[in-house]
Structure 1
Amino acid sequence: MSLIPRLLLLAAAALLLAPVAYAQAPATDCAPGAACSKPLPVRVVIVTMFEIGADTGDAPGEFQLWKERRKLDTRIAFPQGYHDLYYNPDSRILAMVTGVGTARSGTGVMALGLDPRFDLSHAYWLVAGIAGIDPQDASIGSAAWARYSVDGDLAHEIDAREIPKGWKSGFFPLDKQGPDDKSPPITEGRVFALNSKLTDWAYALTKDMKLPDDPGIVKERARYTGYPNAQKPPFVLMGDQLSAMTFWHGKLLTDWANDWVRYSTSGKGEFVTSAMEETGTLQAITYLDRINKADKDRVLVLRSGSNFSMPPPGVAAADYLLRENEGYAGMKASLESLYVVGSKVVDELIGHWDRYEKAPPE
């Protein structure tokens, strides 16, 4: 055999024996949910719940600002969830829209965690969404980091028109004998305690930030006479979250929410924001953590007030709720607050990934 054919055979053999990295399909080319030889590394998952209209270029929902400003331009099909995923290969940020409600958030996050196209082993999760906010604690546009998320759906309910005399509300836990039953709460599947060191770190990093304000919310918060925190310009605070599928509203239900969170956390929690999805999201991450598909100690929950959880003095709850449903007074400011506060934390995590990949900050 001449030298040239021999060299060609040797080269062909070398190619056959060498690792064929060029043949490994990137995650964007792998079938949704199917095995993938080269999963995408993810540093931060941004969990949003809804979008309004298009993903870009119109009135934003929770997702749009992240997509546009973080250049999340790589679209990844996600038929097993509510909305396709978007990714930035440089920052390694992945963003999802779960859909509204605990059923969609829980199943969507579980589907993502079990999808072999993604390496989420070191990923941080930032839940960033709007919320109703208690005027006793904060103003619309304010952003609250949660230490606890409490489920408000697993309960007995008696219509308020039929409750016994002396009951503050018709809600009480499934395992109790009424709202005055003060036996220790059952927390499994009802109370999710986030990594307090991580949450404290995020709050310390962001607590002095100046948040967006506008004339509309200045006018709205001025109506809350007797509620000094509601009359402040938007600010960052620590405050816990009640997750319930019913969009409730009013002074009496706000009192119930405070009592429910206080009781459920044995007095450690303080109700500040109301939303619908967190207990579904956190339940899914808890299960994924058990099989090393996610790290529950790397989860942050940030909610900003788009509307108050009760009306201002002298206004009926039904009247105020119906008016707010035409457009939340703090919608624009709350979306901006979510982005600027959340971005401060995301930038710190990504900017010092050599440190935070190994262990969460404290």
Structure 2
Amino acid sequence: MGAGIAAGLMAPAPARAAATAAATAPIPVRVVVVTTFEIGKDTGDMPGEFQTWVEKLPLKQELPAPGTWHGVMRYNPDLQVLGIASGEGPEHMASAITALVLDPRFDLRQAYFVLAGIAGIDPKFGSVGSAVWAPRVINGGLAHAIDAREIPADWPDGYTPVQGSRPDERPVPPLHSLSGDMAYTLNPGLVGWAYALTRSLPLEDTTALKAIRARYKGFVPAQAPPSVLLGDTLSGETFWVGARMNDWAERWVRYWTEGKGVFATTAEEDVGFMQALSLQAQAGRVDLNRVLLLRTASNFDMPPPGQTAADLLKSEASEGGYSGYLPSVVAAYQVGSVVVRELSRNWDRYATHVPEAAPAAP
């Protein structure tokens, strides 16, 4: 028998009980920061979404993350903030969130979840480098689709609800069915609070960003400097690009929100994020009222006047990636960390009371 084991067995019963309780007590988590990818290492090289949080918040303590793409999580014991990198795509996201919530090391019933990742942006809505809090997530990956060469002449595009046979199917099918979940609305009070807390933050504006948006003549929102905004995100695994696809995205968001939503950003993982959390909330393991989603614009989702969709794809590849990549990674941390720090540092206020935006002045 090892000396350490023997000493433990010889310790008084109350001391052994206290040690056992300490060993099995959940790791306290106030906020979970969710990112989708990392490039290379978590520190010291080309940053992905995760690295900026690891280095700047910081998240120095490494924890194993079994059953996830990245394999490790990062933790700040002082702020009690846990950070994960899910892997790209809704499947990786749903798997990572489910593995995290079911991990016996954590009790996440009071934890806030903040997804902070990069995205494409509609030039009719905003500019590259901007940060957008999402009131809603729309599923852009679940649909019936007709080849573009066979779309009926009176259809705006080739997409219909899985539960219907026309793009304008009426009434709008139920959002949840055996086919899946089409739209999620986040807690409006919490989203409004996060937006109010960060809306005045000055975001990085570079010479490169100015040159990118100067190409979008006639798109007033695209030509504005980066800012913090409110707008819905469309989530789908296919990386689409082009003016016609952008028109579809705008229509799809309007359709599934009965005209209430405004398409702003496009990303992959958000529907997997919301699906996983919704199911875990049904089991009482998380609180859906404590979920936030922030997307920062690394690129426009359609080309500027005079350029084709194929031209845009080629130019992004030849220029080494998304045109606003680094500023968008910076903005995700700059904006998201204000909310994360506020929640963590004032836990006595937010542990039992979810913040919400103050009523607008009459």
Is the aligned partner of 1:103 residue 2:91? yes
2:339 to 310, 321, 345: 345
1:195 to 167, 170, 187: 187
Task: Check conservation: 2:81, 2:344, Cα contact below 8 A.
Answer: no
Is the aligned partner of 1:268 residue 2:255? no
* Counterpart residue number, 1:22: 19
Counterpart secondary structure, 2:343: helix
* Counterpart residue number, 2:106: 118
C-alpha displacement of 1:13: 9.0
Counterpart secondary structure, 1:164: coil
Amino acid at match of 1:247: F
Summarize the alignment of residues 223-302 of structure 1 with structure 2, pairs less than 5 Å apart.
223-302=215-294
C-alpha displacement of 1:186: 2.2
Gaps of 5+ in 1: 1-11, 27-36
Counterpart secondary structure, 2:221: coil
1:43 to 18, 30, 35: 30
1:207 to 182, 193, 199: 199
Q: Structure 2 length as normaliser, TM-score?
A: 0.91
1:146 to 108, 128, 134: 134
1:137 to 107, 118, 125: 125
Change in 2 beyond 3 A, CA 1:323/1:18: same
Determine the C-alpha separation between the residues in 2 that align with 1:239 and 1:14: 59
Task: Check conservation: 1:146, 1:302, Cα contact below 8 A.
Answer: yes
1:183 to 166, 171, 193: 171
Change in 2 beyond 3 A, CA 1:100/1:14: closer
Counterpart secondary structure, 1:118: coil
C-alpha displacement of 1:350: 1.4
Determine the C-alpha separation between the residues in 2 that align with 1:322 and 1:22: 60
Counterpart secondary structure, 2:103: coil
* Counterpart residue number, 2:300: 308
Task: Check conservation: 1:185, 1:266, Cα contact below 8 A.
Answer: no
* Counterpart residue number, 1:63: 50
C-alpha displacement of 1:96: 0.5
Change in 2 beyond 3 A, CA 1:62/1:14: closer
Task: Check conservation: 1:185, 1:263, Cα contact below 8 A.
Answer: no
Task: Check conservation: 2:29, 2:111, Cα contact below 8 A.
Answer: yes
Q: Structure 1 length as normaliser, TM-score?
A: 0.91
Determine the C-alpha separation between the residues in 2 that align with 1:351 and 1:41: 14
C-alpha RMSD of the superposition? 1.4
Counterpart secondary structure, 2:12: helix
Aligned residues: 341
Amino acid at match of 1:125: F
C-alpha displacement of 1:76: 1.0
Identical aligned residues as a percent: 48
Determine the C-alpha separation between the residues in 2 that align with 1:298 and 1:79: 24
C-alpha displacement of 1:25: 6.1
1:92 to 72, 80, 84: 80
Amino acid at match of 1:191: A
Task: Check conservation: 2:57, 2:337, Cα contact below 8 A.
Answer: no
